Every structure is written in C-alpha cells, then in structure tokens.
C-alpha cells in the first residue's frame, strides 16, 4: 500500500508539474493573442489610411500633365508678350490721335 501511495504521490506531482507549465503557456498564448489582435487592428487602420492616400493621389496630375501645363504656360507668356507689343503700338496711335484732336480743338 505504501508503494501505491508513493506512485500516486509521484504521479500527482508530475501531473501538477506538467500542467503548471501548460497553464503558463496558456497565459502566454493568451497574451500573444491579445497582441496579435492589436497588430491586426493597427494593420487594418494603416490599410484604410493607405487607401485614402491612394484615392487622393489618383486625382493629382501626373508628371506628364505638369509638364504639359508648363509648356502651355510658356506659350501663353509668349502670346501675352506679343499682345503687349501690339497694345503698345495701339496705345501710341491712340495718343497721337488724341494729341491731334486736342491740338485741332485749340486751333479751331
């Protein structure tokens, strides 16, 4: 009977020792599961932010579009320069006509 009690005692001790490590592992795994869920939430939030940025970038002009705008602006500057020259000539003509009309009124 003493041997039987000794076997039961040793068996109970071994069982307690083996299950204690599994309890520690279970607690460790529970902590890891919580960390994993937090990581999943963070990744989901980052994916949403990335999608928002990608949607905004789709509406922005591309490099070629900006280059075309630069070329168009350069052409427009040239056109405005030519118009300025033309308007200067028209302005001089209008002044001459005004001067003529003013002088003819004073004489007349």
| Digit-coded pLDDT (tens) for 46-95 | 999 999 999 999 989 999 999 999 999 999 999 999 998 889 989 999 99
Amino acid 78: pLDDT: 93
**Per-residue confidence (pLDDT) for residue 25, from 0 to 100:** 76
pLDDT value of residue 45 = 97
φ and ψ of 62, to 5 deg: -85, 175
**Per-residue pLDDT tens for 21-53?**
777 777 888 889 999 999 999 999 999 999 999
Supply the pLDDT for residue 31. Answer: 87
**Structural domain boundaries in the chain:** 1-60, 61-108
Do residues 90 and 98 touch, judged by C-beta distance below 8 A?
Answer: no
How far apart CA 57 and CA 68 sit, in angstroms, is 19
Instruction: Return the sign of the alpha-carbon dihedral for residues 16, 17, 21, 22.
Output: negative
Cβ neighbours of residue 61 closer than 8 Å, sequence gap 6 or more: 69
Q: Is the pLDDT of residue 102 over 70?
A: yes
pLDDT band at 108 (very low <50, low <70, confident <90, very high): low
Q: 9: closest CA among 21, 24, 19, 1?
A: 1
């Amino acid at each position: 009977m003493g041997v039987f009690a000794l076997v039961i005692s040793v068996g109970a001790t071994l069982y307690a020792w083996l299950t204690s490590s599994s309890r520690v592992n279970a607690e460790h795994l529970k902590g890891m599961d919580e960390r994993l869920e937090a990581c999943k939430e963070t990744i989901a939030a980052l994916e949403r932010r990335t999608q928002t940025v990608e949607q905004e970038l789709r509406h922005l002009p591309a490099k070629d579009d900006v280059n075309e705008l630069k070329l168009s602006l350069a052409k427009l500057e040239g056109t405005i320069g030519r118009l300025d020259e033309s308007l200067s000539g028209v302005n001089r003509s209008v002044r001459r006509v005004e001067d003529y009309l003013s002088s003819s009124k004073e004489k007349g």
